[in-house]
Structure 1
Amino acid sequence: MFARYLLLLLPLLLLSGCSSSPDANDPTSGMTVEELYEEAHSELENKNYESAINLYERLESRFPYGPYAERAQLEIIYAYYKYGEEETAILSAERFIKLHPNHQHVDYAYYMRGLSSFRLEPSLLNRWFDQDMTERDPRPSREAFRHFSELVEKFPNSQYAEDAVARMYALRDALAEHEMHIARYYLKRGALIAAVNRAKHVVENYQQTSEVPEALGIMVRAYRQLELNDLATDTLKVLELNYPDHDITKAVSRGQGPGSSS
């Protein structure tokens, strides 16, 4: 008897399970891949980024292969970026690069990876107000620079290369500024060797930035305090040769300079 009732209940349970399945309440369940893509793309263009992300994810889940899936994988990077999910955008870009290294628009994935990393760079306001430059983490800047550099190296003729180069200049200046802030910090506190190492790093790696004269000046001053007079003289010659009219050059030549109390 119990078995008979169980058999009668089983179809009802199956029907109940079907009615509560995800597709039952999903308005996109009957859409073709073309329709689903058009809906997702329309949401993206209308700046409904969360909705666009959900639709792109559904598209790829149901139709994981083919040109529409590739478009979804590429466009969702931008959707994540605009939605403020930069780290997810970076991961999505890297996934696209790995899956489609020869895609005709893979340069866009490289660019968006760099742009998402660039947005993780602390804002200019943080530099001037609450945040101590010595406490800033320069890794987002370095990652963004590396990502843009890969784009420019692999796709020098890309439509995104020019903007990438401009952002690389800004990132290079920010990284040099960060290093010099720490060099000044060390010099002020008498950590002379550490100050020299930071300043030397700027001279060797950020040669085209405005921080180089001060870096050389810090090296001269630190060498003098360390009584490494030959190194101080040689560094001063480099400073005078390359920046003869710079205020730092004049100050160091007078025995003053960065970090001087005189």
Structure 2
Amino acid sequence: MKRLISLALIALTALTLVSCGPKNKEEKLAPELAEDARVQFEKERYDEAIKIYTKLRDWYPFDKLAIEAEYNIAEAHFNMEAYDEAALAYEEFEKLHPRHESIDYIINQQALCYFNRLDTVDRDQAQAIKAISIFTRLIRQYPDSAYVEKAKEKRELCLKSLAGHEMYVGRFYLKNKKYESALHRFQTVIDAYAGLGFDEEAQELAARSREKLAEEKAEGAE
């Protein structure tokens, strides 16, 4: 019985080694794949690098080089400006390796995936909102990080974009005589985005909106 158990354990171990390693003689070892991927990455052949890093990650999930592969997959997507894919890859890396020595960089890169797609103030501001959230998390969790100062600058640019959007919409409402809606937008800028360069105009247009609202009420009372 002991001999049968020993043989079963040996077979199970062999099966595990086979499943975690190359499937045939033509498949490369982890260091070989890592070197092939590095060469492609440095030549800016990012699609090919991603393919090789993905093989490395999938074939050798417990090798320390798999972590490097995950990291570089995100970097390759970012360098190609494939920001949706890069953001997902960075987020997954953070979940899997929250104590990684470069985790502050990883979080900063997540934020840049959204920051780099900031749109004009007349468009949807979802990217700015997401970037602000991640930059803020970086600043709070890693106040001594080398990326914090730039993160603060970029967060302020995102806030200016949000304020500019509120001003744009407020002017639109004011022009179309939607005075209450306009006032709400200008007041939001005054309350939530003070000191970003819109204070004077927001105060002026808020006052004008109030005047127009008062005129409407007066006319309605006659």
* TM-score category of the 2 structures, normalised to the smaller one: 0.7 to 0.9
- 1:105 is matched with 102
Per-residue deviation at 1:77?
Answer: 1.0
How far apart are the structure 2 equivalents of 1:112 and 1:209?
25
CA contact (8 A) 1:36 1:55 kept: yes
Q: 2:61 aligns with which of 55, 61, 64?
A: 64
Per-residue deviation at 1:137?
Answer: 0.9
How far apart are the structure 1 equivalents of 2:158 and 2:96?
29
Q: 2:136 aligns with which of 125, 142, 149?
A: 149
How far apart are the structure 1 equivalents of 2:180 and 2:110?
37
- 1:91 is matched with 88
How far apart are the structure 2 equivalents of 1:67 and 1:207?
48
* Structure 1: segments with no counterpart, 5+ residues: 1-22, 128-132, 229-262
Q: Verify: 1:215 aligned to 2:202, yes or no.
A: yes
Query: What is the aligned residue count?
Result: 194
- 1:255 is matched with none
Deviation track 1:171-224 (CA, whole Å, cap 9, x = no partner) reads: 111111111011111111111111111111111211120012111111111111
> What amino acid is the match of 2:106?
A
- 1:192 is matched with 179
Deviation track 1:4-48 (CA, whole Å, cap 9, x = no partner) reads: xxxxxxxxxxxxxxxxxxx77x97x1x221221122123222211
How far apart are the structure 2 equivalents of 1:167 and 1:179?
19
CA contact (8 A) 2:30 2:63 kept: no
Per-residue deviation at 1:120?
Answer: 2.2
- 1:239 is matched with none
SS in 2 for 1:84: coil
CA contact (8 A) 1:77 1:109 kept: no
Sequence identity, in percent?
28
TM-score, length of structure 2 as denominator length: 0.81
How far apart are the structure 2 equivalents of 1:223 and 1:114?
38
> What amino acid is the match of 1:56?
Y
How far apart are the structure 2 equivalents of 1:227 and 1:143?
38
Per-residue deviation at 1:138?
Answer: 0.6
Q: Verify: 1:75 aligned to 2:72, yes or no.
A: yes
Q: 2:153 aligns with which of 166, 169, 175?
A: 166
SS in 2 for 1:170: helix
How far apart are the structure 1 equivalents of 2:186 and 2:148?
30
SS in 2 for 1:111: helix
Q: 1:55 aligns with which of 37, 52, 57?
A: 52
How far apart are the structure 2 equivalents of 1:32 and 1:161?
39
SS in 2 for 1:226: helix
Highest Rg: 1 or 2? 1
Q: Segments of 4+ in structure 1 off by > 3 A?
A: none
CA contact (8 A) 1:77 1:112 kept: no
- 2:117 is matched with 120
TM-score, length of structure 1 as denominator length: 0.69
